[in-house]
Amino acid sequence: MEEPLCILCGAHRRRSVFSKRSAEGETFTLARCASCGLRYLSPRPDEDEIGRYYQSTYFTRRTDRGYDNYFAPGTRAQIERLFLLNLEDLGFADFERSLPERRTSLDIGCAAGYFVNMLAARGWSARGIDISESCVAFARDRLGLDVTRGGYLERRYENRFDLITLWATIEHLHRPDLFLEKIRGDLAEGGRLYLSTCRAGGPFMRLRGPRWRYYNFPEHLYFFTTSQIERLLEMKGFRIETCSTYGSGFGAPGTVSRRLADRAAKRFRLGDMMVIAARGA
């Protein structure tokens, strides 16, 4: 277990917010930086220890995500639909048209490779990287994708990328700051970073308290507000182009209350997920 410094301001002082049991019955504590207010898990499993929480069952029994099996066709359809909605919010079509014919992309934390597959089908030279053995095997063997198993920080690429994506990934990282530094160097001139992550500080988080749907301990390590993730991106040399929010987690999936809450979250920027497009400053 380790007790990290705040990645936004470097402070060590923090206050405990609450403690919660994980699915395995272990207790973890959410901390809040006493200086800048960033919420993060502390103490937390270190990078060598965290891998045991990402065994194959993580992708087949995660009902708190809203599905039971990440590899099922129905789940894939849900995820691809979400990607399309996010891309629309980020103005992807215009960005794609602005690029030369050979477009390159890298999806960090690509899981089963669904986004890599979507871009490859659109003619992109699309690659992915993930630490999950089962996901990488699925992406390679079932989808025939260019996906690598390993850590992004240790990986070196010969060419830069027009698009790098972090879909629901940055909250899992021990050092988001170092990832963003490397991504900045791996982006081609005029390239874009697209990321999505859970959004702290919104009304749905406050309404649910410790039962908020994204307080998944210890897999989720950081919980950024919109201003905090924007500050981190700017610190690492990015300029924000677009930011929007979506999702509520209010009511059961498929119900009228969920649809109404999701619609309001989208329209009034109240969502507990956010999606951001950024480019090098």
Residue 67 predicted with pLDDT over 90: no
pLDDT at 246: 96
Alpha-carbon distance of 128 to 112, in angstroms, equals: 9
For position 198, which CATH number holds? 3.40.50.150
Digit-coded pLDDT (tens) for 112-136: 999 999 999 999 999 999 998 889 9
Alpha-carbon distance of 54 to 39, in angstroms, equals: 22
Owning domain of residue 113: 73-208+218-280
Residue 269 predicted with pLDDT over 50: yes
Inter-residue contact 119 to 84 (CB < 8 Å): no
pLDDT at 80: 94
Number of separate domains in the chain: 1
Alpha-carbon distance of 51 to 39, in angstroms, equals: 22
10 belongs to a structural domain: no
140 belongs to a structural domain: yes
Alpha-carbon distance of 168 to 58, in angstroms, equals: 15
Digit-coded pLDDT (tens) for 236-250: 999 999 999 999 999
Alpha-carbon distance of 184 to 165, in angstroms, equals: 12
Residues 6+ apart with CB under 8 A from 157: 106, 186
pLDDT at 51: 79
Residue from 163, 198, 164 nearest 179 by CA: 164
3 state SS of 155: coil
Residue 272 in tokens: 């507990």
The whole-number average pLDDT for the span 256-276 is 95
pLDDT at 66: 45
Digit-coded pLDDT (tens) for 5-64: 999 999 999 999 999 998 888 999 999 999 999 999 999 999 988 877 876 556 655 545
Residue 65 predicted with pLDDT over 50: no
Instruction: Kindly report the average pLDDT of the chain as a whole number.
Output: 93
Inter-residue contact 279 to 191 (CB < 8 Å): yes
Residue from 54, 61, 23, 57 nearest 215 by CA: 23
68 belongs to a structural domain: no
103 belongs to a structural domain: yes
Digit-coded pLDDT (tens) for 174-185: 999 999 999 999
